[in-house]
């Protein structure tokens, strides 16, 4: 007869799992230069996935940023001038 046990452990094929640690897959087998090379290959692969803007889009985005910065400079200048006049009025 087959003995029924209360355990959820599944035995590993090929022997006991005690004393055997996982090595971390492929990464653990490479040295520091191999990992560095892999890192740079992954960077290149990710950069190839990027959808780069066209020249027209780039000039449009640049113009929008410059206009926004000029508006913000004007706003900060007006607020600064107002605070300066308020401080001169309060403290003489």
Examine residue 63 and state whether it is found in any structural domain, yes or no: yes
Examine residue 29 and state whether it is found in any structural domain, yes or no: no
Examine residue 61 and state whether it is found in any structural domain, yes or no: yes
Domain count, the chain: 1
Examine residue 12 and state whether it is found in any structural domain, yes or no: no
pLDDT single digits (tens) 14-33:
655 555 555 555 545 778 89
pLDDT more than 90, % of the chain: 61
Mapping DSSP onto H, E and C, the string for the chain reads CCCCCCCCCCCCCCCCCCCCCCCCHHHHHCCHHHHHHHHHHHHHHHHHHCCCCCHHHHHHHHHHHHHHHHHHHHHHHHHHHHHHHHHHHHHC
Examine residue 25 and state whether it is found in any structural domain, yes or no: no
pLDDT single digits (tens) 28-73:
577 889 999 999 999 999 999 999 999 999 999 999 999 999 999 9
Domain with 63 in it: 54-92
**Predicted local distance difference test score (pLDDT) of residue 9:** 63
């Amino acid at each position: 007869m087959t003995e029924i046990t209360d355990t959820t452990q599944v035995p590993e094929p090929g022997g006991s799992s005690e004393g055997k640690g996982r090595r971390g897959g492929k990464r653990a087998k490479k040295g520091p230069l191999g990992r560095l090379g892999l890192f740079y290959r992954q960077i290149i692969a990710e950069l190839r996935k990027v959808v780069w803007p066209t020249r027209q889009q780039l000039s449009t985005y640049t113009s929008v940023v410059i206009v926004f910065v000029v508006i913000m400079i004007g706003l900060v200048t007006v607020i600064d001038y107002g605070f300066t006049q308020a401080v001169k009025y309060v403290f003489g």
